[in-house]
Amino acid sequence: MNITFNDILQINFLEIIHLNGIGTQAFKGISIDSRKIKKGEIFIALRGRNTDGHNYLLQSYKNGATAFVIDKKYFVKNQKEILEKYKINSPIVVVEDTLSALGELANVYRKKFSIPFLAIAGSNGKTTTKEMISAVLSQKYNILASEGNYNNQIGVPLTLFKLNENHEIGVLELGTNNFGEINYLCKILEPSYGLVTNLGNEHLEFFKNLKGVAKEELSLFEYLASKDYGSFAFVNADYKEIRDAGKKVKNRILYGIKNTRVDLKINNLSEREGKYSFDILNDKTKEKVFIKLNIPGIHNVENALAAASVGIVFGIPIRKIKFALENFKSVDKRMEVLNIRDTIILNDTYNANLDSTIHALQVMNSIKVKGKKIFVFGDMLELGKESYPNHTKVGKKFSEYASKSHSQMYLITYGKDTKYTYKAAGNVKKVHFMNKKQLINHLSELVNSNDLILVKGSRGMKMEEVVNSIVEKIKQR
């Protein structure tokens, strides 16, 4: 990495203290963590909900930071302490907002590279789709991809700072929970390729309804359509809103499971134990390939088709697309299948909304086991007024599956809002908890060999703690 003085001059700074200390030197990197900063890096002090990076200015200086980006509010209040008490004599860049400065500097650095960037938006499946696409493209190219869910106003810039001269394509996930965030991230990334996985009931506390979700997620295509360069859209034609928005982008490829008027389609779809096999047919070349996924869920067929469409556009041979998809393994905490002795645990704890939860229940329903099926469900957050109806729908869907299942099915709910799920499930075996330790104790007594446990909930509910605890308890038996 090579950030220079001229790069810093391109961001919207208010003043630079110790300007003479910069000279022509190049900085070795960017850090927002004073504990991990390395000598020669720039420390950008971010304000968060629980901590303020400005409080660690001295620590980052002692640990080797050679320049600092701080906000005006902090500098005005602490100027004497910084310069006289801390005696920091390295360059200090004062800005209005350090988060904006992080994005601006990342954009300056991104422009040093002429490689194509693919941005991935959508309500569900972004991370899995990104990982599938990376697996496919890696058959031919050196890829820079977002790590985990580095998809926000901090994660996207930090990913861009990892760019080097060996990278040939960038694949980045764009996340949002408020209007305008996708467009903001696009201005930092400047992608020329875009893909919207799907549209669903996410962050309804802020987006209000599906129309609001569509407006925000599809702003990726709006951005691509506004650019003069040859932008390209990967269009999931199973969603009318995505299909219509995709028409605004001159260059595009359409794919779909249900819609047959597409460039890339699915034939001969079959399911066994929750896992799917199918043919992918390229309508233009008439080329066909058989795929047998090793991960469960119909939603992963959609993700795989998206990844295949990207691979085809970037010239990956069909046999290599097949290899990448068939050898793809579940992403951590995203319908991750754990076989612990004779018990199957579906760890889908990374996040939850109505659509992803219904998908998870479909997977649970499709897997045959000799024992019980136990659904452990934590609150779906950020739903606002839609919390009651959405949690209620989950309860009714569980009851529907339970009434037809050959296995005994148990519902364990946890949190304030899953009480609606508990009530809506009706006459099923069920129990509700407000205490996670009590839930874990109950679950450890309930589970036996040959059982299937699905654990699901929003990120804030930290339902992976249930998974980790029950895994250890099963291992100790």
Distances (CA, A) of 99 to 105, 110, 148, 172, 184: 10, 17, 20, 19, 12
Q: What is the CA radius of gyration of the chain?
A: 24
- Helix, strand or coil, per DSSP, at residue 19: helix
Distances (CA, A) of 247 to 102, 216, 233, 408, 420: 33, 17, 9, 48, 40
Cα distance between residue 391 and residue 200, in whole Å: 15
- E runs forming strands in 341-401: 343-348, 373-378
pLDDT band at 21 (very low <50, low <70, confident <90, very high): low
Helix 210-217 to helix 181-189 angle (10° resolution) is 10
- Comparing CA positions, the residue from 369, 372, 345, 371 lying closest to residue 456 is 345
Distances (CA, A) of 431 to 240, 354, 411: 40, 21, 7
Here the tokens at position 356 are 């992803």
Tell me how many degrees the CA angle 17-18-20 measures, rounded to the nearest 5: 135
Cα distance between residue 152 and residue 212, in whole Å: 19
pLDDT beyond 70 at 23? no
- Comparing CA positions, the residue from 200, 221, 229, 222 lying closest to residue 212 is 200
Tens of pLDDT, residue by residue over 320-333, are 999 999 999 988 88
Lowest-confidence pick of 85-89, 110-114, 252-256, 463-467: 85-89
Let me know: does 301 contact 328? Beta carbons within 8 Å. no
pLDDT beyond 70 at 24? no
Q: How far is CA 390 from the centre of its chain?
A: 22
Region 148-176 average pLDDT: 94
The 10 Å Cβ neighbour count of residue 375 is 27
Phi, psi angle pair for 233, to nearest 5°: -115, 135
Cα distance between residue 455 and residue 173, in whole Å: 25
Q: Which residues partner with 430 through β-bridges?
A: 411
AA identity, residue 81: E
Q: What is residue 1's predicted lDDT score, i.e. its pLDDT? A: 72
Q: What is residue 347's predicted lDDT score, i.e. its pLDDT? A: 96
Region 158-171 average pLDDT: 96
Q: What is residue 5's predicted lDDT score, i.e. its pLDDT? A: 86
Let me know: does 54 contact 45? Beta carbons within 8 Å. yes
AA identity, residue 270: S
Tokens 């990913």 correspond to what residue? 159
Q: What is residue 401's predicted lDDT score, i.e. its pLDDT? A: 96
Here the tokens at position 223 are 């951005």
Q: Which residues contact 377 (CB under 8 A, 6 or more apart)?
A: 357, 394, 411, 412, 413, 414, 418, 421, 456, 457
252 vs 147, more confident: 252
- What percent of the chain lies above the pLDDT cut of 70? 99
Residue 36 burial by Cβ neighbours in a 10 Å radius (0-12, 13-18, 19+): exposed
Region 215-225 average pLDDT: 96
9 vs 430, more confident: 430
Q: What is residue 201's predicted lDDT score, i.e. its pLDDT? A: 79
pLDDT beyond 70 at 32? yes
- Domains defined along the chain, listed by start: 3-98 (3.40.1390.10), 113-326 (3.40.1190.10), 336-475 (3.90.190.20)
Among 35-39, 177-181, 269-273, 461-465, top mean pLDDT goes to 461-465
Tokens 């699905």 correspond to what residue? 454
DSSP letter for each residue of 284-352: TT--EEEEEEEEE-HHHHHHHHHHHHHHHHTT--HHHHHHHHHT--PPTTSSEEEEETTEEEEEE-S--
pLDDT band at 22 (very low <50, low <70, confident <90, very high): low
Tens of pLDDT, residue by residue over 76-111, are 999 999 988 888 888 999 999 999 999 999 999 999
Tens of pLDDT, residue by residue over 408-438, are 999 999 999 999 999 999 999 999 999 999 9
pLDDT beyond 70 at 285? yes
- Helix, strand or coil, per DSSP, at residue 417: coil
For the four alpha carbons of 457, 455, 438 and 407, in that order, the dihedral sign comes to positive
Tens of pLDDT, residue by residue over 192-216, are 999 999 998 777 777 888 898 889 9
Region 131-137 average pLDDT: 97
Q: What is residue 203's predicted lDDT score, i.e. its pLDDT? A: 72
